[in-house]
Amino acid sequence: MTMSVANTAEEVRSLRGLVPLWVGIGVYALFLLAGNRLLIDPDTMWQITVGQWILDHHAVPHTDVYSFTMRGQPWISTQWLAQVLYAKTYAVAGWSGPVVLAAAAIAATFALLTKFLNRHLSESTTLVFVAAALALTVPHLLARPHVLAMPVMVAWVGGLIAAADRRDAPSFWLLPLMALWANLHGGFVFGLVLIAPIALDAVVNAEARSRQSLVLRWAGFGVAALLASCCTPYGWNSLLASLKILDLGGALPLIMEWRPANFGSLGAFEVCLLLGTGLALLRGVRLPPLRIVLLLGLLHMALSQERAAEMLALLAPMVLAAPLARQLNGIEVSGSTAVMPMRGGLFAGIAVVLVAGTFAYGSVHRFEPHTRGSPVAAVAALKQLNVTRVFNDYDFGGYLIANGVAPFIDGRTELYGEKFFVDHNAASGLMEPENLFRLLDQYGIEATLMRTQSAATKLLDHIDGWQKVYADDIATIHLRKVGAVHTVEPVVSPTAK
């Protein structure tokens, strides 16, 4: 009987150790099979272009070399390492490279999240949290730099939360994660900000006699983390550049991913929020005050900016895990960091199967960017006009960079600044029509490349001095042409400059 019970307990522990692995494999397979879904954002193309520039020049950029409006102005890439990784994988394997790289990062993110939660909660509760996190993050899971930083973020915050759960200070072995994060994506600033509230949680819940030394240890860790974040080719300028993005003021609400959450229609965010609220009311969940502050802070960010939904989805479960474990009859917090009970041969076998499966699928499936909303044909026509000063739609900027055309504006909003971006938005949307004509004259614009249905495009159809030379369902080109007169509905009439 005793031996039977012992064997059963061992099997349970083994199964628990395997859950993160199965989650990682499942998530990787899911995103590999839906690989083109990772390439729907045209920004991926210009990220690769910048990464290739870094590889070619063996240096990181310090000034803008892409636009004609800001050429030569100071600009640094706070995500240079992610851009290099995407460019390198693209050079080796075409579009399969960025897809596999992004899918692997996503898989690692959810495997790490599962491993952390599984230390405290039952498998069923863990998988519910993981499923909710996956549903909330799917819209943001693209082959872009922030995806490569996600597993680092989870590992970093998991380390801080684990230390707070133990009423201890985090290990200095976490610091390389901060250095890596600072080179992958500007979101590392959020990781620095989280140190203070998590430290306060640890100190408040620690025994009185150990609080003073704990404060000093957390303070030392915070200073070391700040120094680690400066271990980039740009030094402390990476920190300043990341903060500059948050200082864009009126420009941020105009960018889709920075807009507040929209509950006009039922979505995953609202469903998860309602279900979580209902469960908390049903079970009478109680949290320590500072965990409530952390949770509300993450929720506020997700409500005020759509892009922050991934932080709520991935980090809130870790904030809740230990307190919930004590209330939902989960596994007691032990601070255990036991390694999954697996043998090297099994790891190697799984790795071989994954690699072989990836190559097999990549050989029969073609990965390519989703260009349905990109001005592919319009840019080809634009190049034939031999113009150099093009007023473009904001969403077309990344595609222009990737195709060797200097844009008027692109997704590097921190380079252009709040006023420039707001002026461009007001001009292209005709909120201030005079802005359109001022910018066209101020920058000596030779041609415009705007969405066919935009207000500016419709207006230029009827403005003398501008000839429509190309139009399709996505984009329209207007060429500045002296003598062009519109007394009737204009027609597409390709002409040489």
CA distances from 134 to 16, 120, 139, 315 (A): 20, 20, 9, 12
Confirm whether 368 is domain-assigned.
no
Take residue 372 and report the two structure tokens written for it. 């349905």
List, in order, residues 6 or more apart from 111 with CB less than 8 Å away.
20, 21, 23, 24, 27
Could you tell me if 298 and 398 lie in one domain? no
Torsion of CA 262, 263, 266, 272, to 10 degrees: 90
Nearest to 308 by CA among 114, 488, 139: 139
> Helix, strand or coil for residue 281?
helix
Could you tell me if 34 and 139 lie in one domain? yes
Question: 419-423 contacts: CB < 8 A, separation 24 or more?
Answer: 420/69, 421/248, 421/251, 421/254, 421/394, 422/250, 422/251, 422/254
Take residue 10 and report the two structure tokens written for it. 């061992």
Could you tell me if 450 and 411 lie in one domain? yes
Confirm whether 338 is domain-assigned.
yes
Confirm whether 7 is domain-assigned.
no
Last residue of a domain, one of 302, 330, 348: 348
Dist CA 368 CA 366 (whole Å): 6
Total number of domains in the chain? 2
Could you tell me if 137 and 193 lie in one domain? yes
Could you tell me if 260 and 392 lie in one domain? no
What pLDDT, on the 0 to 100 scale, is given for residue 332? 47
Confirm whether 355 is domain-assigned.
no
Confirm whether 465 is domain-assigned.
yes
For residue 468, the surrounding DSSP H or E stretch is: strand 466-471
Q: Which parts of the chain register pLDDT below 50?
A: 1-9, 12, 330, 332-342
Could you tell me if 83 and 162 lie in one domain? yes
Confirm whether 264 is domain-assigned.
yes
What pLDDT, on the 0 to 100 scale, is given for residue 219? 96
Confirm whether 489 is domain-assigned.
no
Strand partners, 63: 74
Confirm whether 136 is domain-assigned.
yes
Radius of gyration in angstroms for the set of CA atoms belonging to the chain, rounded to a whole number: 26
Could you tell me if 195 and 260 lie in one domain? yes
Dist CA 188 CA 140 (whole Å): 17
Take residue 308 and report the two structure tokens written for it. 């922050």
Could you tell me if 403 and 290 lie in one domain? no
- Single-letter amino acid code for the residue at 263: F
What pLDDT, on the 0 to 100 scale, is given for residue 55? 96
Dist CA 253 CA 262 (whole Å): 12
- What string of DSSP letters covers 153-198? HHHHHHHHHHHHHTTSPPPGGGHHHHHHHHHH-TTHHHHHHTHHHH
N- to C-terminal Cα distance for the chain? 91
> Helix, strand or coil for residue 108?
helix
Nearest to 298 by CA among 278, 282, 319, 280: 319
Could you tell me if 85 and 26 lie in one domain? yes
* 481 CB-contact burial (10 Å; exposed 0-12 / middle 13-18 / buried 19+): middle
Could you tell me if 323 and 407 lie in one domain? no
What pLDDT, on the 0 to 100 scale, is given for residue 16? 53
Could you tell me if 62 and 118 lie in one domain? yes
Strand partners, 470: 477
Rounded to 5 degrees, φ, ψ at 436 are: -60, -50
Dist CA 409 CA 449 (whole Å): 11
Q: Which domain holds residue 412?
A: 376-480
Could you tell me if 343 and 407 lie in one domain? no
List, in order, residues 6 or more apart from 48 with CB less than 8 Å away.
83, 86, 87, 90, 98, 402
Handedness of CA 446, 452, 454, 455 (dihedral sign): positive
Strands 447-451 and 390-392 come out as: parallel
Last residue of a domain, one of 310, 328, 348: 348
